[in-house]
Amino acid sequence: MEPAVVRQAKAVGGLIGIVAILFFLWFTFVAIPVATELWHNWRAWCQQKRAQRAQRAHRKQAHSITVEESDSGGYQVVE
């Protein structure tokens, strides 16, 4: 007959194995897909923000004017 300590160690070892398997299954089928989805959403959001910034910069550039001093001492708008 085995001592109680050995039986208890085997039970704990079995429990650790079950928890490890459950964690692996959770990680494989829940955590990785969720993290992947979050990553794709984050990249799409960043890309959208980059496009908005570029669009704003283009709009600012399209509305800017350049003023130069003319030969007669006044100022003129240069396209």
Structural domain harbouring 53? 4-78
> What's the whole-number mean pLDDT along residues 56-66?
77
Which sign does the torsion angle of CA 22, 25, 29, 33 carry?
positive
The mean per-residue pLDDT over the stretch 47-65 comes to 86
pLDDT > 90? residue 65: no
Give Dmax (Cα) for the chain: 114
Number of independent structural domains in the chain: 1
Q: What is the CA radius of gyration of the chain?
A: 33
pTM over 0.75: no
Structure tokens at 50: 């980059």
Strands (E), 1-79: 66-69, 75-78
In the chain, the percentage of residues whose pLDDT exceeds 70 is 95
Among the listed residues 13, 37, 33, the one whose alpha carbon sits nearest the alpha carbon of residue 25: 33
